[in-house]
Chain A
Amino acid sequence: MKKPQTINEYKTWLKSELGFRISGADRQYYYSVAKAMREQLLASDFWCDLSPTLERFDGQYLSKTGYQLLESLDPPDILVKPFDSFLLKTYRKNVINNMRWSDQISPPSGGWITPENWFSEINDIIRTLFVVRYLDGVEFLAESIEELASQHGVSCTVSYEAKETGYYAAHLDIMLDCEIPDRYWGTARILSTIEFQITTQVQELIRRLLHRRYEIERKSQPSTSVKGWQWDYNNQQFTLNYMGHLLHYVEGMIMQLRDA
């Protein structure tokens, strides 16, 4: 079986091979579930406590370093991943990044991601972004939120992302027990993951520039060019990716100067 090469081929493949027909009803249901998840995060004790606690974190960082931690003390917006981006992510996990599917069709290590399990398997349907002023603020805030989550008995896993493409941020996977509308009847309970991202002001600026390109890039298979983007200095990808790395390095240098 040939791997689907586009999102439309992926939809056809989902229907023919796994028996799931993706229609506008799935899109509508997705937003209904996402709305329920978002509302439950906003109503959770953890989030209600986190919003006012940001000021305390900022004060602790200020007394430790002499500088402010956050760009804004207001709680960040809670965003819902658009359905098209969500479906694209399942395509990446099932097909593009599925190294077990070479000659013969084979599911990824955790099994196929389908409408039956994708609300539990995809970790950033609901996400938010905290923006800090300095590079060391990423780790400081990540640890502070992790500790607060622990106090509330909420599972929180921190990872520090450093991608080849120049993306740098801390990701916190917050587990939330959610009551969501069932596809057909009443409600169902799932354990879903909410993603908190923490990055610096400078990286945030770059990621805004990169976002649109990432979406286009992710819709296609990885480049099979022998040379790779690292040698294609006329390509926009070369400029943007290295700008991400360069700025991360500069932010590290700023830290050394600041704390000298």
Chain B
Amino acid sequence: MEERFRHYLEEISLPVELYDKVENILRIFAQLSSETVEQIFVSEYLKPDGSREYESLWCFSRNLALEATDFVVGNEISVMRLIQIAFLVIRKKHYDFTQSQNNSELYIEYDPSVVDRAGYLKASGTNCDHLKNVALRYLAPRSD
């Protein structure tokens, strides 16, 4: 696993025991596509005790997005072509879309135009900055 991915996982406090799962999913992506994974993202939300509940793992390349749903215990993987994104909803809380704070929260909902593959990603704290970058780079509707 690339060092920057490892740093990201450390930053969002993903338990080290799950790193193997992330590596395995990255390997699957490499088998599915010749494109290089440019960014990974873990969708998560805060629980009342302040800990994070991790939902899905995303791997983004230039044209593809792989989602490992409920990756902590699940085994379902789906891959989507990013060119089809046509609709985006941004909801933010304690977040100016520039610099995250500890209590920041961000919710991004996307909807492809041609297939029923809409979904959402969630982030808390510093992970909001990562989600913002993902949204702007990969999920924002494209005109091409």
Contacts and interface: CB of A to CB of B under 8 A. Distances in A.
Contacts of B105: 184-186
Interface stretch (A20-28, A113-121, A246-254): A20-28
* Interface of chain B, main secondary structure: strand
Contacts of B46: 186-187
Interface string B94-130: 0000000000010101010000111110100000000
B91 interface: yes
A3 interface: no
B53 interface: yes
Interface string A30-59: 011001000000000000000000000000
B60 interface: no
A24 B47 contact: no
Contact of B53 (A181, A184, A185): A181
Interface in B16-75: 45-48, 53, 55, 69-70
Contact of B55 (A32, A185, A187): A32
Interface string A133-153: 000000000000000000000
Given A31-B70, A32-B55, A35-B70, A24 B107 contact: no
Given A181-B53, A185-B93, A25 B109 contact: yes
A29 interface: yes
Contacts of A182: 45
Nearest to B89: A25
A204 interface: no
Interface residues of A, number: 15
B120 A28 contact: yes
Nearest to A28: B119
Interface string A7-24: 000000000000000011
Contacts of B120: 25, 28-29
A51 to B, nearest CB: 19
Nearest to B46: A186
A185 B109 CA distance: 13
Interface residues of B, number: 20
Nearest to A186: B46
A35 B72 CA distance: 12
Q: Which of A23, A181, A187 has the most CB of B within 10 A?
A: A23
B118 A23 contact: yes
A72 to B, nearest CB: 24
A28 B120 CA distance: 8
Contacts of B91: 184
B111 A181 contact: no
Contacts of A28: 69, 119-120
B90 to A, nearest CB: 11
Contacts of B111: 23-25
Contacts of A32: 55, 70
25 contacts: A23-B109, A23-B116, A24-B116, A24-B118, A24-B119, A25-B118, A25-B119, A28-B69, A28-B120, A31-B69, A31-B70, A32-B55, A32-B70, A179-B47, A181-B45, A181-B53, A184-B91, A184-B93, A184-B105, A184-B122, A185-B93, A186-B46, A186-B105, A187-B45, A187-B48
Interface of A: 23-25, 28-29, 31-32, 35, 179, 181-182, 184-187
**Shortest 7 CB-CB contacts between residues of A and residues of B:** A24-B118, A23-B118, A25-B120, A184-B107, A28-B119, A25-B109, A25-B118
Given A24-B118, A32-B70, A181-B45, 16 more contacts: A23-B116, A24-B116, A24-B119, A28-B119, A28-B120, A29-B120, A31-B70, A35-B70, A179-B48, A181-B53, A182-B45, A184-B93, A185-B45, A185-B93, A186-B48, A186-B105
